[in-house]
Structure 1
Amino acid sequence: MDWSEGDNGHSHMRDSCQHGHPGHSHSHGPRAAHAFMNPFHGQFGKNADQPMNLSQQPKKRSHMDDSSSWDIVKATQFGILDRCKELVEAGYDVRQPDKENVTLLHWAAINNRSELVKYFISKGAVIDQLGGDLNSTPLHWAIRQGHLPMVIQLMRYGADPSFSDGEGYRALHLAILFQHMAIAAYLMAKGQEVDGPDCNGQTPLMLAAQKIIGPEPTNFLIKNNASVNAVDKVNRNTPLHCAVLAGNVDAAHILLEAGASVDAENINGHTPIDLAHQVHSPLLIHMLNHIKQERIRSSSRCLRIVNRYRVFLQFLLCTAVFGSVGAIVDMNSESWLLKGILLACVIGVINLASRNFPSPAFQSLLPATALMASVFWMLVTWCLWFLPDGPSATAQVLFTLNATALLYYYLRTSRTDPGFVKDTEEEKKMNVLVLAEAGCLDPRIFCTSCMIKKPVRANHCFTCDACVAKQDHHSVWTNSCIGARNHHYFVLFLLSLVLMGAWMFYGCLIYWSTHCVLHYEEQGLWGVVSVLVSCSPWLLSVFLLAFYHTCWSSLTLLVQLYQIAFLGLTTAERTNLTLHQMKLRQSVSLRQNPHNLGVVRNLVSFFQLRCCGLFKPTVIDWTQQFPAGRDQHAFGHADMV
């Protein structure tokens, strides 16, 4: 998740937290320009609802300007500690607000002047004094501007995040509205309830669903156990009601995936579907009705059984489809019309199954179950077509070992924990507090989706929705993430699959040379293909199936071995490093990285080769290897989730 100040579609959120209020024409110079206003958030002044003219921003003041004549407000805005001390010692009361009811502590907070905050508080400044057009505290101003260090400092001095500003928003609500997720994580770690209502009775999730266009804040709150069915005090609206009223499709989709009720009624008896009709949103109407029908269907006992055994049932379906297609093309009937009709029936069955099981889980399992169905028919073909021709005992033993290794490594790849990084809720809160107060709450080190400190070389897998140690990629062929603990199994699985394809090519060639009359010089390419089709269409279909799986597996294997042996990188690291170089327009050898130990040592370390004590590979638990400081290597992935 991007912790920078982004567009939250909330320009009406206003407060007098600029360096100069509207109507002030004087310039505040370059040191204050960054905090004067955020062009994405709108102006925090009286005229905030008006379109913003960036050309009207204050002009930069020369560095040669003498600050000895500045008033204390201006000196505070620019962080001139000596001038502020001089004026305070001369008798200025730090608790005295200016003519627009803004105190010095407010100005120091919005400009992230930590030394001035410390000094003003030592001189009696009120930490939670209200000021500005919206009666905000200095903490509110710091949160709006996204100054996490200032938020931490103010809370150390006793700032109360439960105070409400003039619009009724508390600290956590403001952090969500302005999409400062690092601040939101810190506030929750300090004890702020994720479902705590503001003065209007709305939870942060309701505000995110109603006012933030985009999935990030909604997703962040749900990951932190926000209630998707909470209701506000006024209209009894749930977060889904709020999302529908705002036409926020992204938020509605996330809420529905999290289990938000489509039948909940507000104080007027309206469900989210009713509100979707009122706002005339066909997309939301279709989405809500579709989810409602899916939930009704999934409540049936039959579908519960199907979901429970969906992997096995989908494997049977793929096996039946592949077998049916092969059997149809292998029929002795010369009528291709009949075969076409039967193939159309098979396609109809596939279409019917996809319509009745359109869930993402069904779709995600399709490549893996199709691969296993292909391997099954390869084994059947070897036993029924090739074995009767009496291959040598050596070939039979080697094929059996290959098939066993293929199934073993497939199961180990898909069933082994790839290295998920796990923390308890208390550990997550402690991580946030420690990293935030150390100034290291950085997306390269901290994952805002999992709320954990990321180990070195770890990445967040969006499919698994978890951080994986030394993650390589998420494999659709095994329906699992490939990481530190199962990466070597995946490479051996690829090798076994390539060898299985080679055995099938060998068996097909032997069978065709024995049972089919092939004369390439006389028949030509098309003639040979016609003979193969008429001789054994089944074998030709199995050959093509084996060719497809051999092609992708061999290419993937070569890429994996190159990255492992010559680069010492994972796929994710190589991709991130390449993108980083493209962004900086620099060309650096991928071999120049701290994890490349040389070809032999890379392979020994990856496969944990010992060779009867000849090698001594280093055993590293990548789930526990944390970065020493703020910086990571260039290929460290900065998760924006």
Structure 2
Amino acid sequence: MDWNEGDNDHGNMHDNCNHGNTGHSHSHGPRAPHPFMTPFQGQFANKADQAMDISQQPKRRSHMDESASLDIVKATQFGILERCKELVDAGYDVRLPDKENVTLLHWAAINNRAELVKFYISKGSLVDQLGGDLNSSPLHWAIRQGHLPMVIQLIRYGADSSIADGEGYRALHLSILFQHMGIAAYLMAKGQEVDGPDCNGQTPLMLAAQKIIGPEPTNFLIKNNASVNAVDKVNRNTPLHCAVLAGNVDAAHILLEAGASVDAENLNGHTPIDLAHQVHSPLLIHMLNHVKQERIRSNSRCLRIVNRYRVFLQFLLCTAVLGSVGAIVDMNSESWLLKGVLLACVIGVLNLAARNFPSPGFQTLLPATALMASVFWMIVTWCLWFLPDGPSATAQALFTVNATALLYFYLRTCRTDPGSIKATEEEKKMNVLVLAEAGGLEPRIFCTSCMIKKPMRTNHCFNCDACVAKQDHHSIWTNGCIGARNHHYFILFLFSLMLMGAWMFYGCLKYWATHCVLHYEEQGLWGVVSVLVTCSPWLLSVFLLAFYHTCWSGLMLLLQLYQIAFLGLTTAERTSLTMHQRKQRQPVPLKQNPYNLGVMRNLASFFQLRCCGLFKPAIIDWTQQFPPGRDQHGFGHTDLV
């Protein structure tokens, strides 16, 4: 950043907001113009006698030509090393602060002038010298501007990250306050305590909950083991108290999911619910009361059992609902009013169950359990409706093989690890240090949610809260990710499900032809439908259910096979590249990518087919495939996904 990009105050790059527990704002009085404006600053008074007209400032084109006339401060701001050396050699004391108590090292740090920082420290500059209205160190200035390389350089030279500035903020607090997650990750990897208090007794999580609207960086800190029930030194407020006082609904939601106490009392005896009433936030009041009731209910033995066997119980519920609907429709009674009343009762029971089940888990599991309930009734229909008509032994054997394969591949898809990238706490810290010091602590290489270095073709799944190697998508039908290690099982599951639908069509058509009187020429379409409803409403329901599952599974199977065979890409990669190409004037065809080996080799590598040595599939562990260098990122890596 050049010194003429804006006028502001020496070192005062902090917001003039209230500390949640101090109850007063900070006022610093009139200040001199400062060339670095940041989004967190309040209103600063400029001294008239120090104001500079923009037209009188040196133009960018003439910086080098006029370098001989620049004083050492401006030369430092511009990063003109030779001019600075000339002035220092002429006797300028690098430790000497200007009239605003700002040193040359501060100016070099805020402008990310690495060579000048090295030069000034070699000439005796104090790396932790405080200056400016906020009494900040050069490290504080670099953090506020988000200069990670400069932060690394200053810490290498011995900068103390535990020093507080004039407002009491330490290095980690500033990185969180200014939402520089890469710097925060680096500081924690270097040993900064995630729950270390500032001079006001607040942890970084409290500051995030109070001052940053939105889920980040609250979510980032919680994933790095920040305490959700820590209290400050002044009012004994927890992070949830701070979020409620600030009206930060996103942060409050994340804190509640992480187990923050809704009954914790501060120094005045107020709980977060009490504070929600004080700030008149109906949404927060409803959220906190709902969580409190859910936690009270979850302590009951009955609900603990329900949570433990939630998948099985929800499968039974879906099976019972589908069976009840089919049985009611198939009743011999001619009274549609009675059938309507019974169907309304079933819907009421389903609604009651949805209210009593843990709602997030119930909703996420519903598609998967409903699918398995559908398959269950398809198998029952085959056994009770179609087998008595005596299908051939071949048909019975093929159906049995199909049903077995469907269940097997579905379970393998659900139970197989999709390729989640895992690392120990020490490995995470080492990854942060290595990547940061190599200049690769970027979102396309480093995942701030998992704190890991991402292999090639890896995406972070927010549903699973994990990075998945060669992730294709998150499937609602399996309630999990489809990735490198279970993708082929998912394809075979789709194929088996589509065949199951075909068997249902075959059985229904044979049954209707045998047991129902159908004359399309005489009855017409509506007459045929009426006959089918009268003949066997259950079979018509199963037919429609099978038609639905066959349609989505068949379409998804075709799309998946096209991407695998003809493109060599995953769904996530194809979507990302399609969006990327729309921004390019001359887009490159999707087929032209380094992962496309040709149709036969793509299929052989995906399914690991050898065919008695005819194919040599590429065996790649995508959880261990990293980009070859900092500037050589794999095609389809996170910079595109």
With structure 2 as the length reference, what TM-score do the two structures score? 0.93
Q: 2:61 aligns with which of 60, 63, 66?
A: 63
Deviations, residues 294-317 of structure 1 (Å, cap 9, x unaligned): 000011000000000000000000
C-alpha displacement of 1:587: 2.5
1:439-518 paired onto structure 2 within 5 Å = 439-518=439-518
- Does 1:560 find its partner at 2:554? no
Contact 1:472 1:483 in 2 (8 A): yes
Deviations, residues 491-541 of structure 1 (Å, cap 9, x unaligned): 000000000000000000000000000010110000000000000000000
Give the residue type in structure 1 aligned to 2:227: S
Contact 1:210 1:246 in 2 (8 A): yes
Contact 1:277 1:285 in 2 (8 A): yes
1:613-632 paired onto structure 2 within 5 Å = 613-631=613-631, 632=633
Deviations, residues 456-491 of structure 1 (Å, cap 9, x unaligned): 001001011000010001111011110000000000
Q: Aligned equivalents of 1:120 and 1:553: distance in 2? A: 66
Contact 1:440 1:629 in 2 (8 A): no
Contact 1:431 1:453 in 2 (8 A): yes
Contact 1:240 1:255 in 2 (8 A): yes
Equivalent residue, structure 1, for 2:294: 294
Structure 1 runs, 4 residues or longer, greater than 3 Å off: 21-25, 45-48, 55-60, 583-586
Equivalent residue, structure 2, for 1:403: 403
Secondary structure in structure 2 of the residue aligned to 1:63: helix
Give the residue type in structure 1 aligned to 2:448: T
Contact 1:75 1:83 in 2 (8 A): yes
Equivalent residue, structure 2, for 1:41: 40
> Relative contact order: is structure 1 or structure 2 higher (C-alpha 8 Å, sep ≥ 6)?
1
Deviations, residues 122-175 of structure 1 (Å, cap 9, x unaligned): 000000000001000000000000000000000000000000000000000000
Q: After alignment, is 56-65 or 432-441 more displaced? A: 56-65
Q: After alignment, is 607-616 or 288-297 more displaced? A: 607-616
Q: Aligned equivalents of 1:483 and 1:248: distance in 2? A: 35
Secondary structure in structure 1 of the residue aligned to 2:484: coil
Give the residue type in structure 1 aligned to 2:637: G
Q: Aligned equivalents of 2:283 and 2:473: distance in 1? A: 33
C-alpha displacement of 1:430: 0.2
Identity of aligned residues (%): 83
Q: After alignment, is 547-556 or 576-585 more displaced? A: 576-585
Give the residue type in structure 1 aligned to 2:161: P
Contact 2:457 2:634 in 1 (8 A): no
Q: Aligned equivalents of 1:286 and 1:592: distance in 2? A: 53
Q: Aligned equivalents of 2:567 and 2:211: distance in 1? A: 46
Change (3 A) 1:629 1:41: farther
C-alpha displacement of 1:588: 2.1
Give the residue type in structure 2 aligned to 1:603: L
- Does 1:12 find its partner at 2:16? yes
Contact 1:247 1:281 in 2 (8 A): yes
Secondary structure in structure 2 of the residue aligned to 1:353: helix
Secondary structure in structure 2 of the residue aligned to 1:467: strand
Q: Aligned equivalents of 2:584 and 2:148: distance in 1? A: 28
Contact 1:473 1:572 in 2 (8 A): yes
C-alpha displacement of 1:359: 2.2
Q: Aligned equivalents of 2:392 and 2:87: distance in 1? A: 99
Q: Aligned equivalents of 1:180 and 1:77: distance in 2? A: 23
Secondary structure in structure 2 of the residue aligned to 1:474: strand
Give the residue type in structure 2 aligned to 1:42: Q
Q: RMSD value over aligned CA atoms?
A: 1.9
- Does 1:593 find its partner at 2:597? no
Change (3 A) 1:56 1:447: farther
- Does 1:109 find its partner at 2:109? yes
Equivalent residue, structure 2, for 1:199: 199
Give the residue type in structure 2 aligned to 1:41: F
- Does 1:528 find its partner at 2:528? yes
Contact 1:46 1:133 in 2 (8 A): no
Equivalent residue, structure 2, for 1:250: 250
Equivalent residue, structure 2, for 1:635: 636
Give the residue type in structure 1 aligned to 2:357: F
- Does 1:221 find its partner at 2:221? yes
Secondary structure in structure 2 of the residue aligned to 1:36: coil
Give the residue type in structure 2 aligned to 1:164: A
Change (3 A) 1:24 1:172: closer
Give the residue type in structure 2 aligned to 1:64: S
C-alpha displacement of 1:176: 0.1
Q: Aligned equivalents of 1:74 and 1:458: distance in 2? A: 45
Q: Aligned equivalents of 1:189 and 1:627: distance in 2? A: 22
C-alpha displacement of 1:357: 1.5
Secondary structure in structure 2 of the residue aligned to 1:216: coil
Contact 1:447 1:639 in 2 (8 A): no
Give the residue type in structure 1 aligned to 2:283: L
C-alpha displacement of 1:634: 5.4
C-alpha displacement of 1:611: 1.4
Contact 2:593 2:635 in 1 (8 A): no
C-alpha displacement of 1:612: 2.1
Structure 2 residue ranges without an equivalent (≥5): 1-12, 19-29, 47-52
Equivalent residue, structure 2, for 1:171: 171
Contact 1:102 1:132 in 2 (8 A): yes
- Does 1:382 find its partner at 2:382? yes
Q: Aligned equivalents of 1:64 and 1:169: distance in 2? A: 39
Q: Aligned equivalents of 1:634 and 1:210: distance in 2? A: 40
Deviations, residues 260-314 of structure 1 (Å, cap 9, x unaligned): 0000000111000000001111110000000000000011000000000000000
C-alpha displacement of 1:551: 0.5
Q: Aligned equivalents of 1:457 and 1:11: distance in 2? A: 39
Secondary structure in structure 1 of the residue aligned to 2:456: coil
Q: Aligned equivalents of 1:160 and 1:214: distance in 2? A: 30
With structure 1 as the length reference, what TM-score do the two structures score? 0.93
Q: Aligned equivalents of 2:511 and 2:318: distance in 1? A: 26
C-alpha displacement of 1:10: 7.2
Give the residue type in structure 1 aligned to 2:603: L
C-alpha displacement of 1:119: 0.2
- Does 1:350 find its partner at 2:338? no
1:568-579 paired onto structure 2 within 5 Å = 568-579=568-579
